[in-house]
Amino acid sequence: MTERPGAGPATRPEVPPECGRARSLLLDAERGRLPAAEPAWLEEHLAGCAGCRAEAEAERALSAALATRLPRHRPSPELLTDLAARYLPAAAQPAPAPRSTSPSPATDVAGPGAVDSPPAPAPLRPVARRWPRPAWLGPAMAAALVLATVGYYEGLVLPRRTSPSIAAEAVHDHLRLLASSHPLGVESGGPHQVKPWFQGRLDFAPPLAFGGDDDYPLVGGDVAYVFDRKAAQLVFRRRLHTISLLVFVAEGLRFPPAEVPLGRLAAHLEEVRGFSSVVWRDGELGFALASDLNRAELLELARRVASAGR
Amino acid sequence: MRPSAGATLALGPASEALSHAPSLYNLARRLSASDSDAEDLVQETYARALGGAATFAPGTNLRAWLFRILRNAWVDLLRRRRRDPAGGGQPGLEPNSEPPAEEQAQGPELLRGDLELDRLRRVVSAEIEAALGQLGEEARTVVLLDLEGLTEVEVAEVMGCAVGTVKSRLSRARAALRRLLQHYAPPEATGRGGTRRAEGAGEAEGGAGGTR
Write out pLDDT tens, residues A71-102.
Answer: 788 888 889 888 888 887 654 444 444 444 44
Q: In Å, how far is B142's CA from the nearest CA of chain A?
A: 13
Which chain B residues are within 8 Å of A58, Cβ to Cβ?
Answer: 110, 113, 116-117, 120, 178
Considering only alpha carbons, which residue of chain B is nearest residue A184?
Answer: B196
CB proximity A24 to B under 8 Å: yes
Q: What is the largest CA-CA distance in chain B?
A: 75
Q: What is the pTM of this model?
A: 0.53
Under a CB-based contact definition with an 8 Å cutoff, are residues A259 and A268 in contact? yes
SS3 of residue A113 by DSSP: coil
A266: enclosing H helix or E strand: strand A265-272
For chain A, the average pLDDT equals 74
The pLDDT tens digits of the residues spanning B4-53 come to 333 222 235 677 788 889 999 999 999 998 899 999 999 999 988 876 55
Q: Check CB contact under 8 Å for A155 and B29.
A: no
- A86 in contact with B, Cβ within 8 Å: yes
Cβ contact A16:A24 at 8 Å = no
Q: Are B95 and B136 in contact (CB under 8 A)?
A: no
B189/A contact by beta carbon, under 8 A: no
pLDDT per position as a tens digit, A16-47: 888 988 888 888 888 888 888 888 888 889 88
The H or E element that residue B78 is part of is helix B62-83
> Kind and range of the H or E element at A187?
strand A186-187
Residue A34 forms contact with B (CB below 8 Å): no
C-beta separation of A46 from A59 below 8 A: no
Average pLDDT, chain B: 73
The answer for residues whose C-beta is within 8 angstroms of residue A133's C-beta and 6 or more apart is A81, A82, A85, A142
Distance of CA B62 to the CA centre of its chain: 20
B 7-66: CB under 8 A from A:
7-8, 11-12, 14-23, 25-26, 29-30, 35-36, 38-40, 42-44, 46-47, 50-53, 63
How close does chain B come to A265, measured CA to CA in Å? 29
* Contact between residue A63 and residue A28 where contact means Cβ atoms under 8 Å apart: no
Alpha helix (H) ranges present in B148-185?
Answer: 152-159, 163-182
Whether the CB-CB separation of A62 and B177 falls below 8 Å is answered with yes
- In the prediction, which pLDDT does B27 show? 95
Sign of the Cα pseudo-torsion (A39, A43, A49, A52, in order): positive
ipTM higher than the 0.90 cut? no
- In this prediction, residue A225 has a pLDDT band, given cuts at 50, 70 and 90, of confident
